[in-house]
């Protein structure tokens, strides 16, 4: 017998609160027991990801209790701050002012308004087609040709990653799937849970058995990423009951989330290091910025959304 939406919500929410509360307490205890700088740094990374995991509980509660409007607004705010971090590290000039005004105060609200209304045909092309054509015109009107192509490309790339790709996450909760009506918020939770667990398990496995650090992220190793991905895929398969998928479909979708998330982290890490930054928030600080927390999601969200939309919606 299938659980009702409310029963599923409270069962999953209770399980997540218990899991993350236990992980938070364990992480705090480990931090007090650390005796050297290497272990302390690793535990700090682990605790940062555990704290980020609480955002899953918050987003899920918002989507269920308040409605999709608050969920869309939450991701719109996240996109705003992520784009701000991206622009802060990329070279811009005073002549780019109106292009940035367009990006922050027109494109972001319009993209998320389209997501909220469920107008898939338009929000799928707004940024990659119309903004792609309009933005360089706005910048060209200022008649500043110094590194024009570089400046246009960086703003457009920031919009694609920070706004277009991220906006597919709340769009998951808007999908209409036959036999799964009114439960798409659970699908968003499933996506976020698999994605976050792949990150968390990769850090733990890298510290436990990692031998070959990744150049893009020294806190992870090849072995840790592989084991973390396998673990997240297995958990995603075990959670097939909260999705419209069968168990083998859940396995494939979980694997797609893990692989796309890894690619997102790899690409964004390469971008920020090419700009001379350790973290998006501030190259001299250890704190993780918004874009650091959204790097995996920026690639995984559109992949998961379109796979689900193409294969499981009418």
221 inside domain: no
**Residue 261 domain-assigned?**
no
* Positive or negative torsion for Cα 223, 225, 230, 232: positive
Domain presence at residue 167 = yes
97 within some domain: yes
Mean model confidence pLDDT for the chain: 85
Domain membership of residue 148 as a residue range: 67-174
The answer to the question of residue 159 being in a domain is yes
CA–CA dist 219, 105 (Å, integer): 36
User: What pLDDT sits at residue 89?
Assistant: 82
Tell me the mean pLDDT in the region 60-89.
Answer: 86
Distances (CA, A) of 40 to 36, 82, 112, 278: 6, 28, 40, 18
**Residue 281: what pLDDT?**
52
Q: What is the secondary structure of 16-44 as a DSSP string?
A: HHHHHHHHHHHHHHHHHH--SHHHHHHHH
Q: Is residue 79 part of a domain?
A: yes
Q: For residue 137, is it within any domain?
A: yes
Average pLDDT over residues 124-145: 93
Is the residue at 17 inside a domain?
Answer: no
Q: What is the pLDDT of residue 284?
A: 35
Sign of CA dihedral 98, 99, 100, 102: positive
Tokens (6 digits) for 98: 């109106």
285 confidence band (pLDDT: 50, 70, 90): very low
pLDDT tens-digit series, residues 87-123:
888 877 888 889 999 999 999 999 999 999 999 899 9
Per the structure, the count of domains in the chain is 1
With contact defined as beta carbons under 8 Å apart, do 115 and 171 qualify?
Answer: yes
**Range ranked top by mean pLDDT from 14-18, 62-66, 276-280, 300-304:** 300-304
Higher pLDDT, 145 or 40: 145
How far is it, in rounded angstroms, from Cα 55 to Cα 245?
25
**pLDDT tens, position by position, 174-192:** 999 988 888 888 899 899 9
Whole-number pLDDT of residue 283: 41
């Amino acid at each position: 017998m299938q659980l009702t939406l409310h029963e599923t919500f409270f069962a999953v929410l209770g399980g997540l609160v218990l899991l993350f509360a236990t992980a938070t307490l364990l992480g705090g205890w480990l931090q007090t027991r650390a005796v050297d700088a290497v272990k302390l740094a690793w535990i700090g990374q682990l605790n940062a990801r555990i704290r980020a995991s609480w955002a899953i509980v918050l987003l899920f509660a918002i989507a269920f209790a308040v409605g999709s409007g608050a969920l869309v607004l939450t991701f719109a705010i996240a996109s705003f701050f992520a784009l701000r971090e991206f622009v802060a590290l990329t070279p811009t000039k005073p002549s780019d002012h109106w292009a940035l005004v367009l990006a922050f105060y027109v494109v972001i609200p319009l993209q998320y308004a389209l997501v909220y209304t469920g107008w898939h045909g338009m929000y799928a092309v707004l940024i990659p087609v119309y903004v792609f054509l309009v933005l360089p015109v706005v910048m060209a009107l200022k008649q500043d040709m110094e590194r024009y192509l570089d400046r246009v490309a960086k703003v457009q790339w920031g919009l694609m990653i920070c706004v277009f790709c991220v906006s597919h996450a709340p769009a998951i909760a808007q999908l209409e799937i036959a036999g799964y009506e009114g439960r798409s918020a659970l699908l968003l939770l499933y996506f976020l849970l698999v994605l976050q667990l792949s990150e968390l398990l990769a850090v733990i496995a890298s510290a436990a058995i990692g031998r070959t650090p990744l150049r893009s992220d020294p806190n992870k190793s090849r072995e840790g990423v592989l084991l973390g991905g396998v673990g997240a895929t297995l958990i995603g398969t075990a959670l097939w009951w909260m999705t419209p998928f069968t168990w083998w479909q859940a396995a494939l979708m979980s694997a797609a989330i893990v692989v796309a998330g890894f690619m997102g982290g790899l690409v964004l890490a390469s971008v920020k290091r090419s700009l001379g930054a350790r973290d998006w928030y501030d190259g001299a600080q250890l704190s993780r910025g918004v874009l650091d927390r959204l790097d995996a999601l920026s690639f995984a969200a559109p992949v998961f959304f379109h796979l689900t939309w193409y294969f499981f919606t009418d």
